[in-house]
Chains A and B, each alone.
Chain A
Amino acid sequence: MDYLGQLLANGLVLGAIYALAAVAFTLVYGVVRLVNFAFGELFMLGAFLTASLMLPEVRLLGMIVPMPGFSLPVAALGAIVLTGALGVLVDRIAYRPLRNAPRLAPLITSIAVSVVLQSLAQTIWGAEELRFPEFHLATLPPVVLFDSIYLSVMDLVVMATALAAMLGLSAFIARSSLGRAMRASAEDQMAATLVGIPVNRVVAAAFAIGSGFAALAGLLYAQTYGFAHSNMGFLPGLKALTAAVLGGIGSIPGAALGGLILGLVEALGAGYLPNGTAWKDAISFVLLVGLLYLRPQGLLGKPELNSAGRGSLLGGASEFGAAWLRAGFAKVDGLLAKSAAAGPRAALVLLALAVLVGLLVPSDYWLRILTMVVIYGMLASGLNVIVGFAGLLDLGFVAFWAVGSYLTSILFVLVLKDQFGVAPADIWWLLYLNLPLAGLLAAGFAVILGTPTLRLRGDYLAIMTLGFGEIVRVVAINWMDLTNGPMGIRGIPAPNLFGIALGSPRAQFFFALALAVLVVFAIARLVRSYVGRAWVAIREDEEAAEAMGVPTARYKLYAYAASGFVGGFVGVFYAHSQQYISPLNFSLFENILLLMLVVLGGLGTFVGPFVGALIWIVFLQLALDLPFVQAYPETRFALLGVVLIVLMVFRPQGLAASARVALTMPGARPGALPGARAGRAKEAA
């Protein structure tokens, strides 16, 4: 009982914090239908700003800067106001231009903003933790309830603050005219505009309040755990989003309820499950996945939010940019479209070019980079099946990649070498067995993970797949016996063929290239058949596809399976080429990166993922030569984020908007058909 009581008390404190951050997600989603992933980072900034304002001096960018040394309430207020203003600024720059763009563009920018803020924070405050200064209330003796439950005074302050903030917000939304305008905009933005509500101002207010709530949650969190760190916002951000979805995104009481439930479940799970503290992060995501499966709209939400527009995930056109910029984009688009539509002969030319590059590039360093380009191109091709062709947003693709990498590493290192003392060189052939085996295993996983997502659309689908990706990562970190945990697996042998080690960068490049040929060939054959036509039909109009006799649920699963197969297949080679893997290799960030590569090079094309990978990885390497980036290596990722935001704002339809591939078998074209020839002749005449 005492133990339970203490767990409940801890759960309530954590739940109060989650609830505050969940309000941020829900408020903004309710008004603009945007999952603003950047709230996790605003949460973190709230903590850093408060801590900095409370200290007499802080080390910023490596320099000691004097600070006012405010008390906690004053510093907190300052941090909330600053973060709120930052939230409005982010909306103005990155989201407002995309108000009418289809779903992928704002989602990508929000992730990009998140990447920018996190790497900027790391650049400014450094990679170390910043200790959160002690507030004098924290030195008071704890309050003891029922003789056995200890609650510090600050815990009570946290709960009281959260409660007051929630009640205040509810009253504000219910009573004030701005609150009414917010509710009206949430119901129907167009109608709200028509009756004279300044929707942009209302949205800015939602961002200001939401960011303030995120900052408040962040500073309370940092206060409770005693530190601030540049990636402290990531997990709490995802959990707050989980809480918002649990309660029904868009509903403020739902967010409060979801936060409390999540806090309690996590505290109880950590306390009662075997090794619970290690698994508590997985608990939230299992809860998320389970709830989305049973009740997609959340506990108090509206079912219509589980919807998605038709067509490609990208689209629309920007209202920004000078004529030369548009013309430039149009030219790039035309070029990429032409390369995407090119036939088998062009593919052979490209391959010959790649072989030539592999033979002629003298430096091992650049060969390694080019190998990475091919690996990322292959992975992005796998993701492209589900995202580009079938039009389903998948933020959990890295899980399939991880399955492949771990399967081969566990077999080679943890089982055969460590348990049975078999030298990897003696069983070199296992690699070639593992490639298809891992593909099948990952495809099986993909079908298992895909099945519960079939009823979900749009943002909900993205969130559920994200949950799956996180679960796999948490398992990889915590299932020590299977995966070696965060230490990762070392000593994975380089590929080997009939006893000839293929460890040299040049050999690896050609190995990767050979696999890429297989991957692209297989995907192209599937896409240029009735299967690919069914996928694209689902992407363009699911109902119409169904009415044409396409069992859409089954074909979505096929897309998951094909995408998973590629992920697992490439994962095997990835592990052998890196010779070391750890859960860090398979983060959400990698998934976003892959998504971006596809967007850069062209959704739903064969060459696009490789073009994207080439652009990005070469850009990253060249960026390393910039003096500024050399001084602050973290800014590379900020640069990635900025590039993405700029691209999405000026070109929401992606670089290769009009790129597409033919969806019929090349050999079956009716050159021989008399009717067709007559038609062609008529056209020519």
Chain B
Amino acid sequence: MNQSAPSAEMAAPLMPSPFRLVLTLGLIAMLSGFIIVLVHQVTAEPIARNHRRALEAAIFTVLPGAETRVSFALDGETLQRLDEADIENTELFAGFDGDGQLVGVALQAAARGYAGEIRVLYGFDPAAQAIIGFTVLQSSETPGLGDKIESDPAFLANFEQLEARLDPATGDIANPIVTVKEGEKENPWEIDGISGATVSSEAVGRALRVGTAEWVPRVMRNVEALRSAKTGEGPS
């Protein structure tokens, strides 16, 4: 069992040349690089597919009643229709029900939470000018506390109808979305926070506030193009 031990003992006193040391590390690093590239090549496609599938499932979660979707991306200030499969470049998903009626649009938003970035997807209904659905795409909030933003029924109930109305005079959001303390929600644009998960629930509010301020005006400007996207093929 110890046949290699003596040789290691003997090699110890005489120092190998620096070239030999560098060569060893270089070769091992090359081998390492080779293995990693190999694994990356094999797994890149399934990883991308997983992310696509997760996002796709999330779209229909935040747009209740939607059955089909159309992808859009921003081109200047107008929305440009994209290919269905081009999920990477999509900035906005429009969801349609069985009759071809626009249910709403799904948008991504992000903010810094207690432990790293929280990425969310929310559904916005242009007819009601309100958020109608919400799900967390990615977060690393504290298990049992901060991660309640993903599962707490009372918190998620906030997003069944959360006002994000435009002020016709200014063209901006009339009442920015804000997270308040648990049980203190009084207005339709306020999110009832989670006690014990203050930072995380405020981060969600911040993500939605920034996200809606940026996107709701654009959506409302392009709402006709969105509505007709299902019937007329790409009218923008």
Are A and B a genuine interacting pair, yes or no?
A: no
A-side residues, CB < 8 A to B, are none
B-side residues, CB < 8 A to A, are none
